[in-house]
Amino acid sequence: MPRLPVALAAALTIAAGLGVRLLWDGPVSKYAGDALYTVLIYALVLFARPRMRPWAAASVAAGLSWTIEFAQLSEIPTPLRLVLGSTFNPPDLLWYAVGAGAAWGAHALWLRRRTALITSAKRTTPNGFHRPADGKPMEARTNMRDAASRPPAPPHGGDARRAR
């Protein structure tokens, strides 16, 4: 995946996280923030490894989120508490999985649509007409149709009457 869309997705994720915190309070903003935190990690993983498959990026993002959450059971240095949090909360684990699943789905959909656009572009001729699915020019298809309407060739290339 190209890095520019990944960087834009990361910036949008940060903006969405800040917007959620601004607009709502309580569990909605907390758990949406947890999911978006994992989406941001997903984007950072893709930025580092652009060719990573969606399921692998989701697994890494969820795994890192869970590792950080379980690290909160031990003492986290004060400067890192602002970024990593300080209190273990089991429901966060579920919301990290939701964020990873949402990022996986969005990434897979983007790849599927991109592949469909590329395939469609390959089947379009310079004048805008679509080529047949087999990719062969229309002349070749016409000749194939003519050949299909002829009777089958006799076995071994000879005349069937002489073979008897």
Q: Two tokens at 83?
A: 């970024």
DSSP string across 103-136: HHHHHHHHHHHHHHHHHHHHTB-TTSPBPPTT--
Return the ∠ at Cα 48 (arms to 46 and 51), rounded to 5°. Answer: 55
**pLDDT tens, residue by residue, 68-122:** 999 899 888 888 888 888 889 999 999 999 999 999 999 999 999 888 877 776 6
Q: What is the pTM of this model?
A: 0.69
**pLDDT tens, residue by residue, 67-80:** 999 989 988 888 88
